[in-house]
Structure 1
């Protein structure tokens, strides 16, 4: 059964879809799954499992409501590495065996974008054009930090903040317009002054994110931890999960 989250804005009741992750513990932490009408962010170091979770979500969104899906398509935007198509195929085979629903790969629309101006144009034009032919339930950017990392020390932070605002605004508008889930992955960076790791892009980007979740991986095992860092409707909490050949467990 499709899960809903009800919000009230200017006396209008809005139903927000929720997308299951396929993992019962993470779903419990999220109170049903990732929800629409907000900007979600998943942060973590390289190899933590961000992409693996997003690949599973791009398949979950295609499932019927009774399985926690939305029966919609996914848009997957890569900004750094080559898209892991072999891994998606492996997962889609496992999902097909489990749920008996084929053609998963036909409903994941992949684009490689390495420039923030091209990303803004893609969100403003291409996604809306695609929505004329397919119901879009999920938009993933993997990763947002990859668009802005640069070896150039002479960074125009004012211009960068403006790009942050425009991208976040476009994602939220798409989420509301198509009642879809929007997720940005982000890397971690070391803060020399504090000696701690923190999400890339600093406060200018953090202030635009509605819900931020952290994935960490133990060096001694394959176990991962999924944690809520902040969210308007979720308490700070965490749970453990693993990544297997068949997905996340």
Structure 2
């Protein structure tokens, strides 16, 4: 299911009108599902369940009200979550599950078939050939990639670059899709998108229109936005979801060891829903993460002075973890911190007016001037 969604299937590049509120999103999704309109999405809406005996339109309305818009969600959500939807009985949930399992392939497959499907996986270019080489093609779709680093290492700048490159055609190592961005630190800057779009010869206005941005003000709001994201993504082709940063609000709101368990449980749920989005829509998910100084006195000798926030919950949820570091001058380094397929290695890059770029042979940037030749700004992180 997930791998099928990750295959190189062309998607429209034209921008539709952005949805401005949850009610407008719900009405647009309902209209698309009723009239059978699609915009590059390969998912099936929950209205398909009307073909199941005993499922009525009111059940579909209840699912949509609970932000369950696709049969993929019905399949992937545990029954205990579906039972929390008022008005849907256990018997109805059982019928839905049986019907959906009959509609979608599920179970074992040979490793050879899996490998053949993986060959068609879309990878998003980062703007730097050195980083793309390090990642064996770019950012993977269908999985979570975590960018870890202290301030001014280029985490947010890489996110801005990816928000543009994900809209490039497949033949240009793009995703031919839109970007959904959850901003928890007020670091999204349209001016950066415009500058990067010009570098890649894209229309700045259309590029901005293909990015749906939402500001999260607390950890509960952050989770609510993610749940609403499914409704916004149904009927459209989204190739990238960005959360910058995934841990900042949880870190600020839950302090001390007494609240650590609750924080980790809620962070774990947030990351689980993120992975579900990647599975359903076949999009790449990129999250940024802050660091903390290790209290271990031996860390200075092992070189692990800075540790990612989020502990084991974050470590297990991210398929690929990339550590961003400062280097000499305006050079930055990216190190593969953890990956199921990539070797531990590193690449150097530079942040320019046109986003993430390679270093020239003499150590300078290829395009534009460095953005780090000045005092730290909010959007330099």
1:82, 1:208 → 2: CA distance? 24
| Alpha-carbon offset, residue 154 of structure 1 | 5.9
Bigger RCO of structures 1 and 2 (CA < 8 A, at least 6 apart): 1
Indicate the residue corresponding to 2:248 in structure 1.
Answer: 146
Query: Does structure 1 residue 186 correspond to structure 2 residue 289?
Result: yes
* Maintained 8 Å contact 1:36/1:181: yes
Q: 1:155 to 1:104 in 2, by over 3 A?
A: farther
2:122, 2:143 → 1: CA distance? 11
Three-state SS of the structure 2 residue aligned to 1:31 is coil
| Alpha-carbon offset, residue 101 of structure 1 | 8.0
Three-state SS of the structure 2 residue aligned to 1:158 is helix
Instruction: State which structure, 1 or 2, has the greater radius of gyration over its C-alpha atoms.
Output: 2
1:209, 1:246 → 2: CA distance? 28
| Alpha-carbon offset, residue 171 of structure 1 | 0.9
Indicate the residue corresponding to 2:232 in structure 1.
Answer: 130
| Alpha-carbon offset, residue 82 of structure 1 | 4.2
Indicate the residue corresponding to 1:234 in structure 2.
Answer: 342
Indicate the residue corresponding to 1:111 in structure 2.
Answer: 214
Q: Please list, as runs of the form range in 1=range in 2, the aligned pairs for 1:21-40 lying within 5 A after superposition.
A: 21-40=126-145
Three-state SS of the structure 1 residue aligned to 2:251 is coil
Query: Does structure 1 residue 10 correspond to structure 2 residue 108?
Result: yes
Q: Please list, as runs of the form range in 1=range in 2, the aligned pairs for 1:46-57 lying within 5 A after superposition.
A: 46-57=151-162
Indicate the residue corresponding to 2:224 in structure 1.
Answer: 121
| Alpha-carbon offset, residue 240 of structure 1 | 0.7
| Alpha-carbon offset, residue 158 of structure 1 | 2.0
Q: Which has the higher helix share?
A: 2
List runs of 5+ in structure 1 lacking aligned partners.
none
List runs of 5+ in structure 2 lacking aligned partners.
1-5, 9-106, 300-304, 358-381
Query: Does structure 1 residue 175 correspond to structure 2 residue 278?
Result: yes
| Alpha-carbon offset, residue 112 of structure 1 | 0.7
Specify which of 157, 164, 188 is matched with residue 260 of structure 2: 157
Structure 1 length normalisation: TM-score? Answer: 0.88
Q: 1:79 to 1:232 in 2, by over 3 A?
A: same
Q: 1:53 to 1:29 in 2, by over 3 A?
A: same
Indicate the residue corresponding to 1:58 in structure 2.
Answer: 163
Give CA-to-partner distance per residue, 1:27-54, whole Å, 9 cap, x none: 1111111112222100011010011111
Q: Please list, as runs of the form range in 1=range in 2, the aligned pairs for 1:191-230 lying within 5 A after superposition.
A: 191-194=294-297, 195=299, 196-218=305-327, 220-230=328-338
* Maintained 8 Å contact 1:114/1:146: no
* Maintained 8 Å contact 1:21/1:27: yes
Q: Which has the higher strand share?
A: 1
Specify which of 68, 71, 81 is matched with residue 173 of structure 2: 68
Give CA-to-partner distance per residue, 1:126-169, whole Å, 9 cap, x none: 21111124211100110112121227436422221211221111
| Alpha-carbon offset, residue 66 of structure 1 | 0.9
* Maintained 8 Å contact 2:197/2:203: no
1:65, 1:27 → 2: CA distance? 15
* Maintained 8 Å contact 1:54/1:140: yes
| Alpha-carbon offset, residue 199 of structure 1 | 0.9
Give CA-to-partner distance per residue, 1:91-140, whole Å, 9 cap, x none: 223323xx57861111011111132222222222x211111242111001
Q: 1:113 to 1:154 in 2, by over 3 A?
A: same
Structure 2 length normalisation: TM-score? Answer: 0.59
Q: 1:55 to 1:155 in 2, by over 3 A?
A: farther
Alignment coverage as a number of residue pairs: 241
Three-state SS of the structure 1 residue aligned to 2:152 is coil
* Maintained 8 Å contact 1:17/1:179: no
The CA RMSD measured in Å over matched residues stands at 2.3
Indicate the residue corresponding to 2:183 in structure 1.
Answer: 78
